[in-house]
Amino acid sequence: MRHSPPTVLASPSRRRVLYRLLAAVAVVPAFATVAAHAQGRGTLDPTPSQTEGPFYPKTFPADVDADLTQVAGRSARAKGTPLYFEGRVLGTDGRPLPGAVVELWQCDALGRYHHAGDDGGPRDDNFQGYGRTTTAADGRYAFRTIRPVPYGGRPAHLHVRVRQASAATLTTQVYIAGDRTDGDFVLGASPRGTRERLAMALAPADGGRETGALTGTFDFVLRAAR
């Protein structure tokens, strides 16, 4: 069965890239669902929340599609290692949540957020800084971005917000498995086990993507709306 791609604002060439992303992510196993049901509980634990941080955009860029590595009207690509960030949005019952709006924002390869409050240092104007997409019928989302970098004493991370009509909104951060997070004040103030539950493993992207690119899969589990 062919799945519908998420809704994005993109040129035809960029839409083709994102369609290929969705075709690739369709073969990713549902690790979180399998693990929970293997333990005999039949339900999934909601993804831990994290602080929004000071750099959620006050105003959105003109280009807000799911490819953060290229800004509309600019020919150059963003600095940094390309990262295909993909996965699903699920309910605690393991069912996919279609129509969920997934927002992603992060600093550029120079450690700078594209936000009015993060001034004073060089920035990569070829990095979009923020993007959003909508999950397909099977709950899948896909972004093309860069591997996050550490900055200001914080480990590398992605900021994510997920909204869906039947679920409670989730705001969280996704970290990179294997990166050092010792001393991070956000994780230090979080319940035990949060770091492990928000860690995403990275692997080389398959041969259909650009040389040197990485891929990371993360499933978000939302609580039911109250």
Return the CATH number of the domain spanning residue range 12-222.
Answer: 2.60.130.10
Question: Would you call 56 a catalytic residue per the annotation?
Answer: no
Of the residues 154, 163, 195, 209, which is catalytic?
Answer: 154
Q: Is 180 helix (H, G, I), strand (E, B) or coil?
A: coil
Question: Would you call 154 a catalytic residue per the annotation?
Answer: yes
Question: Would you call 209 a catalytic residue per the annotation?
Answer: no
59 pLDDT higher than 90: no
Of the residues 115, 132, 157, 195, which is catalytic?
Answer: 157
- b/e code 122-156 from CB counts within 10 Å (16+ = b): ebbebbbbbbbbbbbebbbbbbbbbbbbbbeebbb
pLDDT at 140: 98
Confidence of residue 41 (pLDDT cuts 50, 70, 90): low
Question: Would you call 114 a catalytic residue per the annotation?
Answer: no
Least confident of 22-31, 59-68, 139-148: 22-31
Mean pLDDT, rounded, of the chain: 85
**What is 70-88 written as a DSSP string?**
S-TT--SPPSS-EEEEEEE
| Backbone phi and psi for residue 126, each to the nearest 5 degrees, phi listed first | -90, 5
Question: Would you call 157 a catalytic residue per the annotation?
Answer: yes
Confidence of residue 120 (pLDDT cuts 50, 70, 90): confident
- Distance, in Å, from the CA atom of 44 to the CA atom of 97, rounded to the nearest integer, reads 14
pLDDT top residue among 167 and 20: 167
pLDDT at 55: 86
Cβ-based neighbour number of residue 221 at 10 Å: 25
Question: What would the pLDDT profile of 96-112 be if each residue is shown by its tens digit?
Answer: 999 999 999 999 999 99
Sign of CA dihedral 100, 12, 157, 210: positive
33 pLDDT higher than 70: no
Mean pLDDT of all residues in 26-55: 65
Check: CB of residue 90 under 8 Å from CB of residue 166: no
pLDDT top residue among 93 and 59: 93
Of the residues 88, 112, 113, 114, which is catalytic?
Answer: 113
SS3 content of the chain, % helix, strand, coil (to 5): 15, 25, 60
Burial classification of residue 185, based on how many CB atoms lie within 10 Å of its CB (0-12 exposed, 13-18 middle, 19 or more buried):
exposed
- Distance, in Å, from the CA atom of 187 to the CA atom of 1, rounded to the nearest integer, reads 40
Nearest alpha carbon to residue 32 among 17, 23, 49, 44 = 44
pLDDT at 29: 38
Contacts (Cβ under 8 Å, ≥6 apart) of 145: 67, 68, 69, 82, 83, 85, 104, 106, 131, 158
pLDDT at 121: 79
Question: What would the pLDDT profile of 132-161 be if each residue is shown by its tens digit?
Answer: 999 999 999 999 999 999 998 999 999 999
pLDDT at 42: 67
Determine the straight-line distance between the first and last CA of the chain, rounded to whole angstroms: 33
Question: What would the pLDDT profile of 169-223 be if each residue is shown by its tens digit?
Answer: 999 999 999 999 999 999 999 999 999 999 999 999 987 888 999 999 999 999 9
Residues present in the chain in total: 226
